[in-house]
Amino acid sequence: MIRLKITGMTCDHCAQTVKKALESVDKVKSARVYFPQGYAEVETEGEVDVKDLVKAVERSGYGAEPLGKAPEVYIPKENLYDLFILGGGSAGFAGAIRAVELGAKKILIAEERIIGGTCLNRGCIPSKYLIETANMLYTPSSNPIPSVRLGRGDLDFKKVLELKEDLLKDLRKEKYWNVLEAYPEIEYVEGHAEFIDSGRARAGDRKISFHRALISSGSRPFIPPIKGINEVPYLTSDTLFDLEELPKHLLIIGGGAIGLELGQAFLRFGSRVSIVEALPEIAMGEEPEIRRRLRELLEREGMEIHTFSKVEEVYHRDGKITLRISKEGKIFDLEGTHLLIATGRRANTESLGLEKVGVDVDQRGFIKVNDFLQTTNPGIYGAGDCINRMLLVTVAALEGGTAVENALLDNKKKVDYLSVPHAVFTDPEVGSVGLTEEEAIRRGFKVDTRILEFSKVPRAIISFRTEGIVKMVIDQETHRVLGVHILAPHGAEIVHRVVPIIKLGLRLEDILDMVDVYPTLSESIKLCAQTFFKDVSKLSCCAQ
């Protein structure tokens, strides 16, 4: 195999011209020309002088020189943007930075909303700030240690919301505006962006031409088609921080992560909270043992939860919001002062001109992509919430960088979603990574599982926080760990102990060979692994 660096190519047609020139040389069997990376690979049927190949390329109007290793770099194009990005959130910025690292010189990000995307402005950052504040208020009154007496704290709800905006302002500057200053190759445009046709787009009031594009336009709350929903003043995770007063009774439609996290936060602020979920249980994406225990703990704390309950109608009367609910053939009303809709997401894609460039979407507007994050238009890729793989900011950043690398260097990388952890930031927290028991069985594994109660974890015992559990799913034949699912104090932190175990395909025996700091909550992972072989209630401290 002979490799050549090719210069002067500006399009795929150029690559085809170089390919024909190389294949015209005697004893050349075939040639592959990689336009984005700017090099060619030549397979021969005998000895060929590299000088003859160089001369053949030069006669076709391009430059060539011998090359050792195939480069992982992108060759910038003239008179057009190397990469056009629709969306200025985590996926878009991660993609732009990766493009600079690969050698792209002209990158344009267009963002219609506030810079920073959903996570920073309307999602994980403000919601976790709210949760942390609520937990701080709640802790004195819920202190589990009998020998300590703490008083009830006071809440200035208006001040809570004011501090949130200051926090977000600082993070926008540090994580986004400062990044733009550090990468002069990235141009940022505030304003609406949409495709005009293949290779052309509108960004703000400008028309631009581009080589490749990344759609990272994010998502927004999905509003279900409930009778009367548009006649009531409902809240979403986007508008929740517009509140001027603490709700007396917050009704929440949706028992997933958003509804549960925000519901518990407001419960701890002092609101009465009622959750209505159409599915059989809350947190239906989690293991049944996890969701049942979580429901038990939330109801013990005072949350009202209705499952298998469908909201048929919503109406607003005398300053109150009423949900008309059907459950098992019966109808009942639930009345509150405020309503939060937490029924999932839909993509921000309807005004991007996707139909003009052949990019297909599903019923909620999510972009259809293949394993390389390539849309139905080969020159356009998708990443982040708008493709509906895993709606996590960490995944969006990973997808953004991966999609851009595939766009500029041809499709080479896939995202490993199996080893990506996720969490639900209730208290206790849910942390999960890998396959659930049901998913593992569906994939054909012969599985075995164990559940460890946190009453067997020394650190939990001395902290009087023994309400947690760990469930481990393994391949019965090889002892490979397929998934670990946690409900525990700091469960979102503990789960990172498991990520490399899933990523590297480790076995139970590998975990048993590891040594933990004692006493720690993360020791629960090793204890759970030990339960496949021993009764941990009969082990001394730190026993193998």
Residue 94 CB contacts under 8 Å (≥ 6 apart), including other chains: 396, 397, 398, 400, 401
Query: Do 387 and 373 form a contact (C-beta atoms < 8 A)?
Result: yes
| Token duo for residue 127 | 């919601």
Residue at token pair 């190389």:
22
| Token duo for residue 195 | 């495709």
Catalytic residue among 39, 81, 119, 234: 119
Nearest to 237 by CA among 214, 211, 217, 218: 218
Active site residue 541: yes
Provide the pairing of β-strand 380-382 with 206-215: parallel
Catalytic residue among 136, 284, 514, 542: 542
Q: Reply yes or no: is the peptide bond before residue 288 cis, omega within 30 of 0.
A: no
Torsion over CA: 392, 393, 399, 400 (sign): positive
How far apart (Å, rounded) are the C-alpha atoms in residues 89 and 109?
A: 10
Residue at token pair 């979920």:
277
Nearest to 275 by CA among 250, 241, 240, 248: 250
How far apart (Å, rounded) are the C-alpha atoms in residues 196 and 452?
A: 57
Residue-by-residue DSSP string for 226-269: -BTGGGS--B-TTTGGG-SS--SEEEEE--SHHHHHHHHHHHHH
Q: How many helices (H) and strands (E) does the chain have?
A: 16, 25
Query: Do 235 and 260 form a contact (C-beta atoms < 8 A)?
Result: no
402 three-state secondary structure: helix
Query: Do 215 and 349 form a contact (C-beta atoms < 8 A)?
Result: yes
How far apart (Å, rounded) are the C-alpha atoms in residues 252 and 255?
A: 8
Active site residue 386: no
Query: Do 428 and 489 form a contact (C-beta atoms < 8 A)?
Result: yes
Residue at token pair 């004011």:
162
Active site residue 62: yes
Query: Do 418 and 502 form a contact (C-beta atoms < 8 A)?
Result: yes
Active site residue 528: no
Catalytic residue among 39, 62, 74, 138: 62
- Greatest Cα pair distance, the chain, in angstroms, is 90
Catalytic residue among 1, 14, 303, 315: 14
Nearest to 439 by CA among 408, 404, 412, 475: 475
Query: Do 91 and 399 form a contact (C-beta atoms < 8 A)?
Result: yes
Nearest to 285 by CA among 438, 417, 415: 438
Catalytic residue among 9, 386, 472, 528: 9
Active-site residue list: 9, 11, 14, 62, 119, 124, 541-542
